[in-house]
Amino acid sequence: MRFSVLAFALIIFMTAGVSAQYPKGSLEAKLIDLDKAWTFAELKGDKKAAAAMVADDYVGTTQRGDLENKMQYLGQLAPNADMVRSDDYKIRIFGNTAIMTHRATVQGVRNMQFRSTHVWQKRKGKWLIIAHHGSQILPQPETDNDKHLDRGSGIILARGQISTGSQLVNLR
């Protein structure tokens, strides 16, 4: 029972805010639902469900920049305690191929944000992921007014000024 409540909460968290982006029943909405089902399978470590959504000739690029095939991808799947909320979907459809990008916010063990690009292709009536790329969204650096930044040969003290060690230089 406890797992069912947690799974339900996870699904609600993952699907929040998607319905307004694309019309219900559209191909884009269907692809978003498939993407969320894939993410859910990953979080549960459900290799069978994930394998059913990934093409045999799948090529993935991890956030570390490593390439992986379907067997390598499935081999590293394991259940985890993270919750993921995906949003900012952009989908372009070219016949039986769709390119999807989105942002994901991970909360739990790994607190982070990343952007993903998925290439989906309809094969024998079923949409499959044929390629994936993920990149972590790094925190934005603070502005010059928020913090003194080391710039190698000098330190920026305020907007438009730099210290070269022995003198203050106005950059305006």
Question: Is residue 96 domain-shared with residue 160, that is, in the same domain?
Answer: no
Question: Is residue 26 domain-shared with residue 100, that is, in the same domain?
Answer: yes
Residue 1's pLDDT band (boundaries 50, 70, 90)? very low
Q: What is the reported pLDDT for 64?
A: 86
Question: Is residue 12 domain-shared with residue 77, that is, in the same domain?
Answer: yes
Could you count the other beta carbons within 10 Å of the beta carbon of residue 129? 22
Average pLDDT value for the chain: 80
CA-nearest of 43, 44, 49, 40 to 15 is 40
Question: Is residue 98 domain-shared with residue 165, that is, in the same domain?
Answer: no
CA distances from 123 to 93, 95, 128 (A): 14, 12, 7
Q: What is the reported pLDDT for 39?
A: 94
For residues 98 and 96, what is the distance between their CA atoms, to the nearest angstrom?
7
Residue-wise pLDDT for 115-138, tens only, equals 999 999 999 999 999 999 999 998
Place of tokens 């549960």: 44
Q: What is the reported pLDDT for 22?
A: 86
Phi, psi of 140 (to 5 degrees): -70, 140
Share of the chain above pLDDT 90, in %: 61
CA-nearest of 128, 150, 113 to 37 is 128
- The β-bridge relationship of strands 126-137 and 54-61 is parallel
Which domain range does residue 170 map to?
142-172
For 168, the 3-state DSSP assignment is strand
Residue 92's pLDDT band (boundaries 50, 70, 90)? very high
Q: What is the DSSP string of 7-73?
A: HHHHHHHHHTT-TTTS-TTSHHHHHHHHHHHHHHHHHHT-HHHHHHHEEEEEEEE-TTS-EEEHHHH
Residue-wise pLDDT for 45-89, tens only, equals 999 999 999 999 999 998 889 999 999 999 999 999 999 999 999
Q: What is the reported pLDDT for 145?
A: 58
Question: Is residue 129 domain-shared with residue 163, that is, in the same domain?
Answer: no
Question: Is residue 111 domain-shared with residue 146, that is, in the same domain?
Answer: no
pLDDT at 20 over 50: yes
Question: Is residue 100 domain-shared with residue 164, that is, in the same domain?
Answer: no
- Segment 32-37 shows an average pLDDT of 96
Order of strands, edge to edge, in the sheet holding 83-94?
Answer: 67-69, 54-61, 126-137, 112-123, 97-107, 83-94
Q: Give every CB contact of residue 107 below 8 A, 6+ residues apart in sequence.
A: 82, 83, 84, 85
Residue-wise pLDDT for 4-15, tens only, equals 434 434 444 444
Question: Is residue 164 domain-shared with residue 110, that is, in the same domain?
Answer: no
Q: What is the reported pLDDT for 125?
A: 97
